[in-house]
Amino acid sequence: EIVMTQSPATLSVSPGERATLSCRASQSFSSNLAWYQQKPGQAPRLLIYGASTRATDIPARFSGSGSGTEFTLTISSLQSEDFAVYYCQQYYNWPYTFGQGTKLEIK
Amino acid sequence: EVQLVESGGGLVQPGGSLRLSCAASGFTFSSYEMNWVRQAPGKGLAWVSYITSGGGTIYYADSVKGRFTISRDNARNSLYLQMNSLRAEDTAIYYCARASRETSGYFPHYHYSYYMDVWGKGTTVTVSS
């Protein structure tokens, strides 16, 4: 099983600033990596797939990068609606596994 | 509008059974693989089960193997999760999620993988005496 580790657990950033979230995999794979956003009381929403492709209707301020074992989600200029929990997930091998999440909070 | 709506959650005693349903609309359900994903209270996401579009291939997480059964009825645009021998640790919100395929590699050695692009709002299962 591929273990996904996200860091930091909590990230405090001011609106308008840049946020960088990290995700590390225990085994290397190419680009089968997705990022999801989850707000309190809501279902997860797909942001990024293929490590760097934005999903439909996702704003350009969200970008993903990385391959192998190191992946990054960058939010270039934080808006109030971006404060949420973010999960990475590998879909390279079964069982598909998620990171434990990074909570992005307002500083 | 593409939509997934889960139902069937509730309170059940340990050892009991429950059947979850997921109604799909706004897309050709029979063309998509599907997943169940759960989230325990205050915890992260955990994949539970996967089924191919025709139902011919199924996978389970080790934590539910032998107790849960995924199925689908393409004529009814519905996905199901039969949960037996329920335990307290199965308490969670259960989401159904559509799987979209990504193809990599080169002919004839293609590698297919599936990201979850559409999620339902979830149904809550509580296992407690």
**pLDDT tens by residue, A52-71:** 999 999 999 999 999 999 99
pLDDT of the residue at A74: 98
Handedness of CA A38, B104, A69, B64 (dihedral sign): positive
Does the beta-carbon distance from B44 to A45 stay under 8 Å?
no
Residues of B with CB under 8 A from a CB of A: 35, 37, 44-47, 50, 59, 61-62, 95, 100, 102, 104, 113-122
CA–CA separation, B111 and A32 (whole Å): 11
Looking at residues B26-34, what average pLDDT do you find?
97
Of A71, A75, A82, nearest to A105 (Cα)? A82
CA–CA separation, B94 and B101 (whole Å): 22
Q: Residues of chain A with pLDDT > 90: what percent?
A: 97
pLDDT of the residue at A77: 92
**Do residues B64 and B87 make contact, with C-beta atoms less than 8 angstroms apart?**
no
Of A10, A1, A77, A66, nearest to A35 (Cα)? A66
Looking at residues B27-32, what average pLDDT do you find?
97
Query: Which residue type occupies B77?
Result: N
Tell me, yes or no, if A34 comes closer than 8 A to chain B by beta carbon: yes
Within 8 A of A55 by CB-CB distance, chain B residues are: 117
Query: Which residue type occupies A57?
Result: D
Q: Residue A25's beta-bridge partner residues?
A: A4
pLDDT band at A7 (very low <50, low <70, confident <90, very high): very high
Asked whether residue B111 carries a pLDDT value surpassing 90, the answer given is: no
Exposure class string for B71-89: b at 16+ Cβ within 10 A, else e: ebebeebbbbbebeebeee
For chain B, the average pLDDT equals 96
pLDDT band at A30 (very low <50, low <70, confident <90, very high): confident
If one counts every other C-beta atom within 10 angstroms of the C-beta of residue B128, the result is: 10
Within 8 A of B104 by CB-CB distance, chain A residues are: 30-32
**Secondary structure (3-state) at B68:** strand
How far A4 CA sits from the closest chain B CA (Å)? 12
Does the beta-carbon distance from B122 to A30 stay under 8 Å?
no
Asked whether residue A46 carries a pLDDT value surpassing 90, the answer given is: yes
Looking at residues B61-87, what average pLDDT do you find?
98
pLDDT band at B108 (very low <50, low <70, confident <90, very high): confident
Asked whether residue B103 carries a pLDDT value surpassing 90, the answer given is: no
CA–CA separation, B87 and A71 (whole Å): 35
pLDDT of the residue at B12: 98
Within 8 A of B122 by CB-CB distance, chain A residues are: 43
pLDDT band at B105 (very low <50, low <70, confident <90, very high): confident
If one counts every other C-beta atom within 10 angstroms of the C-beta of residue B91, the result is: 17
Within 8 A of A101 by CB-CB distance, chain B residues are: 44-45
Within 8 A of A41 by CB-CB distance, chain B residues are: none
Tokens coding B15: 């050892």
Asked whether residue A28 carries a pLDDT value surpassing 90, the answer given is: yes
Of B39, B109, B48, B44, nearest to B79 (Cα)? B48
Does the beta-carbon distance from A36 to B115 stay under 8 Å?
no
Looking at residues B77-98, what average pLDDT do you find?
98
